[in-house]
A = this chain, B = another copy of it.
Amino acid sequence: MRLRHIEVFHSVYTTGSITGAAKLLFVSQPSVSKVLAHAEMQLGFQLFHRNKGQLIPTPEADMLFTEVDKTYRQLRSIRKMSENIKRNDFGQINLAFTPALGFDVVPKALAKFRQEHPNIRFDLETTHNDQALQALTEHRCDLALLYSSPPMPGVTKIECGEGEIVILYPKAQFPDEPKVLSPEQLGKTELIGIWDSGPLGELAYDRLTNDGVQVESNLQVTSYYVAARMVAQGLGCCTIDKFTALGNLSDKVGIASFAPPLTFKINGLYLDNRPLSKVSEAFLKYLKTEISQ
């Protein structure tokens, strides 16, 4: 019994006539007639008794119809689902990201994405670099967004844009609110240390030591945003990613770049054997534009 047989049988059974079924299916009457005959031939028993031009379903047809009707609904739900998938109007995105992106980047990207694709489910989770691989392999997320992640085996890494490491300082310390701070200026300030907190810490540490700045500090922090709040309290300066800086701004702090600017890559990670879904890719576009501004 082919799909066409099922469709035709269903239509004939519901409309009660071949002509009606033909109209319903937008095909010619002889076509329905022939397909139905073929179905009966292949099934080996009559589905309808032809009596004076009208069709009477046989008891066999009654029995089959209950089954066929179920399948028919299923088929339509498949088609609807595939339509939704095609329009990215169905599915789920399980996202893990470094906390810094949670202040503005992800929320803003998600808000814009939602306007176009309101039916996508999201599952969000913040994660640090060292936990990301675990989250991926345990299928807690399909996609992890990290700052300058090292390559991992079995994981595909794509670029989602660039971030910048900036210096957050209390305005009290630099009343003229400079946009750039030189190594000399930095050397005079108290620095809040975040050197142990992942690749970004190392990056900043290397740069500072290369520039001859003393990086010893008696205030160590492992969360960027905590460091930012420390700066707001006037406890010192801090090298920090710009997203966290912008997301924890206050009127007491200023932002300055390194000279030349110190940038890093933002990466998306997913397992090799679990390729990104189309909706995830669509979402990534929103994320990239959000990052780039």
Contact = CB atoms under 8 A, between A and B. Distances in A.
Contacts of A1: 78-79, 82
Interface string A86-113: 1000110000000000000000000000
Contacts of A67: 74, 77-78, 81
A282 B78 CA distance: 39
Contact of A91 (B4, B6, B63): B63
Contact of A59 (B2, B51, B275): B275
Given A43-B82, A67-B74, A74-B71, A58 B2 contact: no
A155 interface: no
A219 interface: no
Contacts of A44: 82, 86
Contact of A74 (B43, B51, B74, B90): B74
B278 A60 contact: yes
A: contact size bracket: 35 or more
Contacts of A60: 85, 91, 277-278
Nearest to A59: B277
Contacts of A68: 78
Given A1-B79, A78-B67, A81-B67, A273 B56 contact: yes
A77 to B, nearest CB: 6
A74 B60 CA distance: 17
A152 interface: no
A68 B75 CA distance: 8
A274 interface: yes
A71 B51 CA distance: 34
Interface of A: 1-4, 6, 43-45, 49, 51, 56, 58-60, 63-64, 67-68, 70-71, 74-75, 77-79, 81-82, 85-86, 90-91, 142, 272-278, 280
14 contacts: A3-B4, A43-B85, A43-B86, A45-B86, A51-B272, A56-B274, A59-B91, A59-B280, A60-B85, A60-B91, A60-B278, A63-B91, A64-B82, A71-B71
